Amino acid sequence: MAQTVPNLNYPITASSKSSLIFAGDNGAADEGNYFVATSATPGTGVAQTTSVVDDAATQSSTHAQASPALLIQNQNPVGSGINIYLRYIKLACTAVPTSATSWQYSFRLDPLSTKLTTAGTVLTPKNVNSLSTNQSRAYINVGAITTVIMSAQGSLVAAGEIVGAIPVAFDQYLLTFGDVASAMTSIGTTTLQKFVTVPVAPIVIAPGYFLTMGQWGASNAAAPSFCWELGFIERPTGQ
């Protein structure tokens, strides 16, 4: 006799039956916990710091730890359990570095309360659910910002190459969190305009923590500018 495989959505015949309608990002958006933050003016980039590298942990304006391109702080109260789950970061290049041979990134988490020393451009998160009144508690800064370098409680959680050539105008870079595969669509070679997808490990920003993203290219002699778009989920841990 063939064995009947149970439907996990309906485990007990006497119980009330329920089924998940939306999962993943659609489910988070439906419950009002998905937020997007973008550059204020579409097509207008935000300048970063010139000549940044990531070869030593020094409190120098030319080091990626001290001059990151992005800072996100989870301002939910410590102990609240409300985390920020990154989903993607999209960058569009509007002003190019002049001499970088490749373009690199790094992500660091740190609970240091005095992290930000010089603010850049603030991005305001918006709820993608037009009926939700939920407000984000993420503080997001991009551009020419400076921070205190990573404390002993911090950690480097991701790093790698975005593209193996100098960025060019109209390049778009999409960093996706929690994915294992990537793809690249380019016009001609990598020295021409391209759209690059970079998979990054899942990153969870706990209450009170900062996340910084460094961007740099070897021997870069000019400040690049990027338009930003970030998507993230903000909800209690484990739910």
Q: For residues 85 and 17, what is the distance between their CA atoms, to the nearest angstrom?
A: 30
Tokens standing for 185? 């669509």
Rounded CA-CA distance 38/198 in Å is: 19
What does the angle CA 11 – CA 9 – CA 129 come to, to the nearest 5 degrees?
150
Has residue 87 been placed in a domain? yes
22-45: average pLDDT: 91
Residue 8 lies in a domain: no
- 128 inside domain: yes
93 domain residue, yes or no: yes
The number of domains in the chain is 1
- Reported as a single tens digit per residue, the pLDDT across 135-188 is 999 999 999 999 999 999 999 999 998 888 888 889 999 999 998 776 666 555
What end-to-end distance do the CA atoms of the chain give, in Å? 39
Chain position carrying tokens 């970030």 = 230
Cβ–Cβ under 8 Å, residues 81 and 31:
no
Q: What is the DSSP letter of 26?
A: H
Q: How many residues does the chain have?
A: 239
Flag whether 206 is in a domain.
Answer: yes
Domain that holds residue 43: 32-166+202-236
Q: Residue range 183-210: average pLDDT? A: 83
Nearest Cα residue to 214 out of 127, 137, 107:
107
Is 64 part of any domain? yes
Is 181 contained in some domain? Answer: no
SS3 199: strand
Supply angle C-alpha 151, 155, 156, rounded to 5. Answer: 125
Q: What is the mean pLDDT of residues 23-39?
A: 92
Phi, psi dihedral angles at 25 (to 5 degrees): -65, -35
- pTM for the model stands at 0.86
Q: Which of 19-28, 38-47, 99-108, 177-186 has the lowest mean pLDDT?
A: 177-186
